[in-house]
């Protein structure tokens, strides 16, 4: 097996392994993955990013990774398992990006953390990890052991060959047509806040006051608040959230429940 040049150095490994999955918390899946990691690397520091991702919602997981991974130290290993293609011919990959290592299926999970300078290794399906893997649980039997070994200092090149192409997904992009921005809800957090794909810079252009309409609902609002606290109780408000995208929220309530709108919902912004 050919080795790729050294990437994230052994000396820089943080010993941290983050976990992002759609496993939830009521079944044995997450516990099994953690057990495998700790059996190989007892000193690993395991950090849960999210496990309540909608089942098979790959782009949702990609969005969460993008907005959390870079807060960890360089040399952190990020294990992500949202894998509707498990048991199929889809590939498993390791991505080295900005001093971090990402391990998971090649289904678009790492689209928002990888860039043109990232290095990608396709995991060799023939590699021996000491036991035959289940056809339905590669997260436990292949990805978790590799994440543990990477955190202990193994090179990505120990597990496969460097490749140029891997699957990419993209967030829907807002469009501006005749001065009207057409946006879309891309994420609903646990508070019911609706995160849109409209970035800060698009709204701040010219310092104009936005007039926002939720398509198909007849609900509109004017202007932006600075924080969730500024709204009146049960008032629908708009603000720029910590992701630097436009959000719709309800003070002491849920915009998701109030509007009955979720991912894919459309909005129009006039000025």
List helix spans (H) across the chain. 29-40, 58-66, 138, 144-152, 200-204, 255-259
Would you say 95 and 118 are in contact if contact means Cβ atoms under 8 Å apart?
Answer: yes
pLDDT for the residue 207: 60
What's the N-to-C CA distance of the chain in angstroms?
A: 59
Share of the chain above pLDDT 70, in %: 95
Would you say 193 and 249 are in contact if contact means Cβ atoms under 8 Å apart?
Answer: yes
Would you say 168 and 93 are in contact if contact means Cβ atoms under 8 Å apart?
Answer: no
pLDDT for the residue 162: 96
State the Cα–Cα distance between residues 207 and 209, nearest whole angstrom.
7
Confidence of residue 151 (pLDDT cuts 50, 70, 90): very high
Which of 45-59, 94-108, 145-159, 215-229 is predicted least confidently? 215-229
Would you say 44 and 25 are in contact if contact means Cβ atoms under 8 Å apart?
Answer: no
Q: Enter the tokens of residue 199.
A: 């970035």
């Amino acid at each position: 097996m050919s080795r790729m040049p050294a990437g994230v150095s052994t000396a820089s490994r943080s010993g941290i392994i983050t976990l992002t999955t759609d496993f939830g918390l009521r079944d044995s899946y997450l516990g099994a993955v953690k057990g495998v990691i700790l059996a190989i690397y007892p000193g690993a520091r395991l950090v849960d990013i999210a496990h309540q991702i909608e089942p098979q919602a790959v782009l949702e997981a990609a969005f969460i990774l993008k907005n959390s991974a870079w807060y960890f130290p360089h040399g952190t290993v990020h294990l992500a398992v949202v894998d509707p293609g498990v048991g199929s011919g889809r590939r498993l990959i390791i991505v080295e990006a900005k001093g971090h290592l990402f391990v998971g299926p090649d289904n678009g999970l790492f689209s928002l953390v990888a860039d043109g300078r990232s290095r990608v290794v396709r995991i060799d399906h023939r590699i021996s990890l000491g036991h035959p893997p289940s056809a339905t649980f590669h997260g436990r039997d292949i990805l978790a052991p590799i994440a543990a070994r990477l955190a202990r200092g193994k090179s990505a090149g120990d597990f496969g060959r460097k490749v140029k192409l891997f699957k990419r997904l993209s967030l829907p992009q807002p469009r501006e047509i005749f001065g009207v921005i057409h946006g879309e809800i891309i994420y609903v957090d646990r508070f019911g806040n609706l995160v849109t794909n409209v970035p800060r810079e698009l709204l701040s252009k010219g310092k104009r006051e936005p007039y926002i309409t939720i398509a198909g609902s007849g609900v509109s609002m004017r202007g932006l608040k600075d924080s969730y606290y500024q709204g009146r109780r049960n008032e629908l408000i708009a603000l720029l959230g910590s992701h630097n995208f436009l959000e719709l929220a309800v003070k002491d309530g849920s915009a998701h429940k109030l509007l009955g709108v979720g991912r894919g919902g459309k909005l129009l912004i006039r000025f």
